Amino acid sequence: MDYNKKKTLQDIQVANKKVLVRVDFNVPLSNGKITDDNRIQASLPTIKYLVQQQAKVVLFSHLGRIKSEDDKKTKSLAPVALRLEKLLGQKVNFIAQTRGEELENAIENMKNGEIVLIENTRFEDVKNNEVVKYESKNNPELGKYWASLGEVFVNDAFGTSHRAHASNVGISTYIPVSAIGFLVEQELKMLAKGIDNPERPFVAILGGAKVSDKIGVIDNLLTKVDKILIGGGMAYTFFAAQGHKIGKSLLEADKVEDAKRYLEMAHGKIILPIDSANSTTFSNEKATFSGPDLPDDVMGLDIGPKTIELFKQQLVGAKTVVWNGPMGVSEFSHFAHGTKAVAQAIVDLKGAFTLIGGGDSAAAAIELGFKDSFSWISTGGGASLEYMEGKVLPGIDAIQTKN
């Protein structure tokens, strides 16, 4: 899918206009306090630009999942409005509604350069304690209503672009002008550079728990990469496909045939671990190590030291590296070595374009102190994954193309 032709902020007029912006403020909250504001920070360039251009900026975002009226009590965007005010150094008018007179009046009375943040878009998923999913199922009436509040729509929420919701696809369908924001533009540029036009040798590293989560990615990347290194829980299904004993490790029995098929198709492109860091229970006990055959009483929770060396060798000379998914249970210190070592090996490559495709590997890399060491760390877990699978992203597909 070629997204280069989508309108960007530079292609549209925004001065004096009511500009509806879909941002990704889906931040982690603990007791009403924001514990990580990375996503808010990522949206600042677009918001500041619109303010400077004298637009009236109306922000839409979801926060968490809303399945009952009770969920609404802990999932308000009110704390986000306060944090955004601090980061921008200007007033953000928070409206604790997703529709209605108060919201309409607030937008009607805006002056150029002012900002309104509306309540969590997913509050529309529950009405009178009934789950209706107006937002997440892209209810046309809701999309039309939201679109009627503005004149221009900007999608700057990459993290939800793989979903067709009322607040992205819905609004873009019913508004006269739409474009992508700076964050989405940058995400698409970097993903295209890493996946569609890679400098070779091109190495992909895939981890995470399940083969089933990565089947689309393996299908799409096998034809493009020079090598795929596989770690994480999904490696044990590949071990089983090779006839190894995997003890109590995670196994997707219904995916063993797929794993065999991939190994045949790959003609040596797939590099699997050669040893494993194991534990008798799913806990942070001290690791024991074994070759690709594991004793019956243990489960593999990380790649072992020989695999770390093997993966380092396989990365030597790589010019493009795309990484998605940790190598082990990286939240346990005894089983974070693989993820840490792979991150370090990627960072140490000279002159390579290095990309982390969102999700757990992005969180792990940031946690391990590598936030600024990669060429690009994607903000969108599911959206990056679907891009890697070669799927169309509806939230971006719905945006107008340049004339």
Active site residues: 39, 210, 359, 382
The two structure tokens encoding residue 40: 């808010």
**Residue 59 phi/psi, 5° resolution?**
-100, 135
Distance between CA atoms of residues 96 and 168, nearest Å:
20
Give the containing element (helix H, strand E) for 279.
Answer: strand 276-279
Q: Is 89 labeled as ligand-binding?
A: no
Is the distance from CB of 269 to CB of 225 less than 8 angstroms? yes
Q: Is 309 labeled as ligand-binding?
A: no
Q: Is 39 labeled as ligand-binding?
A: yes
Q: Is 208 labeled as ligand-binding?
A: no
Q: Is 304 labeled as ligand-binding?
A: no
Q: Is 165 labeled as ligand-binding?
A: no
Q: Is 261 labeled as ligand-binding?
A: no
Q: Is 167 labeled as ligand-binding?
A: no
Q: Is 361 labeled as ligand-binding?
A: yes
Distance between CA atoms of residues 225 and 89, nearest Å:
45
Distance between CA atoms of residues 102 and 354, nearest Å:
47
Q: Is 63 labeled as ligand-binding?
A: yes
Give the containing element (helix H, strand E) for 74.
Answer: helix 69-74
Q: Is 83 labeled as ligand-binding?
A: no
Give the long-range contacts of residues 73-76, CB within 8 A, separation 24 or more: 74/29, 74/32, 75/29, 75/120, 75/122, 75/123, 76/119, 76/120
Distance between CA atoms of residues 61 and 40, nearest Å:
11
Angle at 105 between CA 99 and CA 110, to 5 degrees: 115
Q: Is 24 labeled as ligand-binding?
A: yes
Q: Is 65 labeled as ligand-binding?
A: yes
Annotated binding site for ATP: 214, 300, 331, 358-361
Annotated binding site for (2R)-3-phosphoglycerate: 39, 122, 163
Annotated binding site for substrate: 24-26, 39, 62-65, 122, 163
